[in-house]
Amino acid sequence: MKKQRTTQQRKVIEEICFSSTCPLSIDDIESRGKEILATLNRVTVYRILNRMVDAGELTRFSHPEKGTLYEQANRPHHHHFFCKTCEATFELPGCGLSLKKQTPAGFIVEGHEVFLNGVCAACAS
């Protein structure tokens, strides 16, 4: 595989993605990136994110309400909570599902994702 050069744009996107404690949308990454590097554009953000996903540095997944989100790869299994008031996405550690009980005989589970939604503690208070 061809070695990718580390550009200023990539450094900014890496900093944003690797310092975040919650999944980020393309809009989140682009707006935070433009605060640091005004010349950053959406095409560049997509290109760098795709390379980071291909390299196994980030995971991309689809949220039913927020669309495509990105987070650091190689994290322990977890699920997500979406606050309908502030529109933030929170990571929920662990998993309460017993896949053997939930899966019909003969099915082979290769993975799963659970999304909870409602109102976060900050918005509820």
Q: Which domain holds residue 68?
A: 8-72
User: How many distinct structural domains can be found in the chain?
Assistant: 1
pLDDT at 3: 58
Share of the chain above pLDDT 70, in %: 93
Residue at 61 is within a domain: yes
Residue at 65 is within a domain: yes
Residue at 57 is within a domain: yes
Residue at 31 is within a domain: yes
pLDDT at 1: 46
- Judge whether 102 and 36 are in contact, CB under 8 Å: no
Which among 25, 30, 28 is positioned nearest to 66, based on CA atoms?
A: 25
Which residue ranges of the chain lie beneath pLDDT 50? Answer: 1
Write the pLDDT tens digit of every residue in 92-122: 888 877 666 677 888 887 777 888 899 999 9
Cα angle: 2, vertex 34, 4; to 5 degrees: 5
Task: Give the Cα separation of 56 and 124 in Å (integer).
Answer: 36
Give the tokens for residue 123. Answer: 């918005």
Residue at 77 is within a domain: no
Q: What CATH number should be reported for the domain holding residue 39?
A: 1.10.10.10
Give the tokens for residue 118. Answer: 């409602």
- Judge whether 123 and 86 are in contact, CB under 8 Å: yes
Task: Give the Cα separation of 25 and 39 in Å (integer).
Answer: 19
Residue at 88 is within a domain: no
Give the tokens for residue 15. Answer: 């900093």
Residue at 29 is within a domain: yes
Residue at 37 is within a domain: yes
Task: Give the Cα separation of 49 and 114 in Å (integer).
Answer: 23
DSSP tag of 78: E
